[in-house]
């Protein structure tokens, strides 16, 4: 197996951009055109199985160059080796060996079968060892990987245990761990265009229900349900308006998804500095996307689930009731003056869904 390791330094650490995770996912999506086996180790680090890609893309250096081109957005360090450890180590060493810290891309290829000879002179500090194990290496005078690799395996196991055996295998260039390809998150989306542009809510509501039905019907046959829905309204002479609804429980009920999205949309419009109703821009297109697909049958029965922290599920049920019967129908009693002399002053009614009610329950 030949593995390509890619490291984007600007997407790692505390100095990374706030949306580094989303940017990293976009880079991985681009790499899908190169290989179907891609593993994301952490944000900014990916492993790609490049075994057998030479007939399509040329030599390993050309394969690495194509990978860098597909993800040519940020500076990247690349390394190729016989396994995941050697590839990651090559990507780590390439910056020091290239000597040019300003280069946008650099690549180091460890030839097949030369892992042990390449590692012999490298410092033992490059091994992923715990601080206590590093201190014991120093106590025994071990400074290079070659010294650790040359020791009898039984002696290493006696002194350092299973962790020492694993580190010795890495020092010898051995790493049997396979790549664990990521599962690309599935996202279903559809768009409805209005000719001429829609002005009232009736046409938008009907279109949204049809769009939700077209996306959820195929999911039922696959025993999947979305956990999040995103509605985007493309407006005439105005920026798009997007609302996202996170579902505490996955559902394939298109009517409920449409109702709750419209309720969330109305709340979003009310919260903005709204202009007069006559000045509202017309809707040219409606986009609906469903993601976070899961199998709802895999959930435990509610009777066996922990009851603490269930406010989000209760909120979901209340939103469904409010969308069906309207607002102002659900109230709860809040005991904010339990020491009042008169019983009627010890508590008061608060409409469910207000900040006061939510704060009391949370």
- The answer to the question of residue 303 being in a domain is no
Residue 58 falls inside a structural domain: yes
Examine the domain organization and report whether 8 and 89 are in the same domain: yes
- The residue ranking higher by pLDDT, 84 or 344, is 84
**Residue 357: is its pLDDT beyond 50?**
no
Task: Give residue 333's domain range.
Answer: 310-362
Q: Name the domain boundary from 265, 298, 331.
A: 298
**Cα–Cα distance between 79 and 81 in angstroms, integer?**
7
> pTM of the prediction?
0.57
Using the predicted structure, report yes or no on whether residue 3 has a pLDDT greater than 90. Answer: yes
DSSP codes of every residue in 98-124:
H--TT-SEEEEEPPTT-HHHHHTTSBG
> 178 lies in a domain?
no
Q: Is residue 180 in some structural domain?
A: no
Residue 304 maps to a domain: no
One domain for residues 7 and 104: yes
Distances (CA, A) of 155 to 120, 132, 138, 165, 210: 19, 18, 16, 9, 69
Tokens representing 215 are 């996306």
Highest mean predicted confidence (pLDDT) among 67-71, 82-86, 311-315: 82-86
Asked if 103 and 75 count as a contact pair (C-beta separation under 8 A), the reply is yes
- Asked if residue 152 has pLDDT above 90, the reply is yes
Task: Examine residue 179 and state whether it is found in any structural domain, yes or no.
Answer: no
Predicted confidence at residue 94, as pLDDT, reads: 84
109 & 125 share domain: no
Considering the domain architecture, whether residues 268 and 202 belong to the same structural domain is answered as yes
The answer to whether the CB of 222 falls within 8 A of the CB of 296 is no
Tokens 């696959």 correspond to: 222
CA distance 192 to 340: 57
CATH number of the domain bearing residue 47: 3.30.70.270
Is the pLDDT reported for residue 298 higher than 70? no
Lookup result for tokens 């014991």: 136
Same domain, 151 and 229: no
- What confidence score (pLDDT) does residue 334 get? 85
The answer to whether the Cα torsion of 275, 277, 279, 284 is positive or negative is: positive
Q: What is the mean pLDDT of the chain?
A: 82
Domain-embedded: residue 182: no
* CATH for 161: 1.10.150.20
E-strand spans in the chain? Answer: 3-7, 38-42, 45-49, 76-81, 105-109, 188-198, 228-235, 241-246, 283-291, 331-334, 348-351
Q: Please check whether residues 267 and 349 belong to one and the same domain.
A: no
The CATH number given to whatever domain includes residue 260 is: 3.30.1490.100
Residues 335 and 362 in one domain: yes
Given 96, 113, 130, which residue is the final one in a domain? 113
Answer yes or no: do 288 and 318 share one domain: no
The structural domain count of the chain equals 4
Query: Residue 142 burial (CB < 10 Å; 0-12/13-18/19+)?
Result: middle
Least confident of 40-54, 178-192, 218-232, 264-278: 264-278
Q: Which class for 253: exposed (0-12), middle (13-18), buried (19 or more C-beta within 10 A)?
A: middle
Is 50 within a domain? Answer: yes
How far apart (Å, rounded) are the C-alpha atoms in residues 110 and 112?
7
């Amino acid at each position: 197996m030949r593995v390509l390791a890619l490291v984007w330094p600007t997407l790692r650490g505390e100095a990374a951009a706030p949306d580094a995770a989303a940017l990293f996912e976009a880079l991985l999506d681009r790499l899908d055109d190169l290989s179907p086996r891609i593993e994301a180790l952490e944000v900014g680090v990916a492993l790609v199985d490049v075994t057998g890609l030479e007939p399509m893309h040329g030599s390993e250096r050309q394969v690495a160059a194509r990978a860098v081109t597909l993800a040519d957005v940020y500076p990247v360090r690349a390394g190729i080796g016989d396994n995941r450890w050697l590839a990651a180590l090559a990507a780590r060493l390439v910056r020091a060996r290239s000597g040019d810290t300003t280069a946008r891309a650099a690549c180091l290829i460890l030839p097949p079968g030369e892992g042990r000879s390449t590692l012999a002179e490298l410092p033992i500090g490059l091994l992923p060892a715990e601080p206590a194990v590093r201190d014991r290496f120093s106590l025994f005078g071990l400074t290079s990987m070659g010294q650790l690799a040359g020791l009898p395996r039984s002696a290493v196991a006696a002194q350092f245990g299973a962790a020492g055996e694993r580190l010795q295998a890495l020092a010898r260039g051995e790493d049997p761990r396979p790549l664990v390809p990521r599962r690309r998150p599935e996202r279903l989306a559809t768009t409805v265009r209005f000719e001429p542009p829609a002005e009232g809510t009736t046409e938008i509501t009907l279109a949204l229900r049809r769009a939700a039905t077209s996306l959820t019907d195929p999911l039922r046959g696959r025993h999947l349900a979305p956990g999040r829905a995103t509605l985007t309204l493309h407006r005439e002479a105005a920026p798009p308006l997007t609302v996202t609804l996170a579902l505490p429980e996955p559902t394939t009920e298109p009517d409920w998804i449409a109702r709750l999205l419209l309720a969330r949309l109305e709340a979003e419009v009310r919260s903005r500095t709204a202009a007069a109703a006559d000045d509202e821009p017309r809707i040219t297109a409606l986009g609906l996307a469903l993601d976070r697909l899961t199998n709802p049958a895999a959930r435990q029965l509610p009777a066996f689930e922990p009851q603490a922290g269930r406010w989000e599920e209760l909120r979901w049920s209340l939103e469904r009731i409010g969308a069906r019967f309207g607002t102002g129908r659900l109230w709860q009693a809040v005991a904010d003056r339990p020491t009042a002399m008169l019983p009627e002053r010890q508590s008061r009614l608060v409409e469910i869904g207000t900040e006061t009610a939510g704060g009391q329950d949370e």
